[in-house]
Amino acid sequence: MDKKIEKLLIRLKSKKIGVFCDDSNLYHGYKKYGWRISLGKLKSLLEKYGDLRFINYYIAIPNEDDDSFIGTQKFIKNIKPYVTLKKKKLKYTEVNGKIKKKGDVDVEITLDVIRNIDNLDIIIVMSGDSDYLGLKNYVIKDKKKKILFMGYEENMAWELRLCWHIFINRIKDEINLD
């Protein structure tokens, strides 16, 4: 592991940590870069460095007649032992005669961070989406807590690169699903 990342992880020592995973963002990174995070390995890694309270995994579930339904169910079965699932229905919208799928969970994650922040020292958001910039400002400025973003390097917004962050590509050996 990169020394810089290890130094950052050491700063989690004895801190109460909550992890909020944005499936949509992670899924698009996985599709683009060809490797997926093992949530079991991620959980073990974070427990080694801090007091991990939970990993919440936010996912939009496709309809049963959707081709991706069975794959989504298999994925959920594999991650269920390591996370608390936070599900919502995938939205289907017609745009120019084609069906567009939308499964944003930004609002759900933001609300859960707000609900849990008083019981945590460090918030970890697994996403590279700049939509979380307002949440970062709230956590740091209003609540005087720390927030760490983890996402695929090529997928992380420049605004989040200015924050406390880890590119998961750089800890791939530790968290790769194989």
Token pair 């008083």 is found at 118
* pLDDT tens-digit map of 58-111: 999 999 999 999 999 999 999 999 999 999 999 999 999 999 998 889 999 999
42: domain range? 3-175
For residue 171, give the CATH number of its domain: 3.40.50.1010
Report pLDDT for 61.
96
Residue 1 has pLDDT above 90, yes or no: no
Report pLDDT for 30.
84
Q: How many domains is the chain partitioned into structurally?
A: 1
Token pair 């794959």 is found at 71
**How far apart are the C-alpha atoms of 71 and 59, rounded to whole Å?**
13
User: Which DSSP string corresponds to 39-85?
Assistant: HHHHHHHHHHHSEEEEEEEEEEEPPTTSTTHHHHHHHHHHHTTTSEE
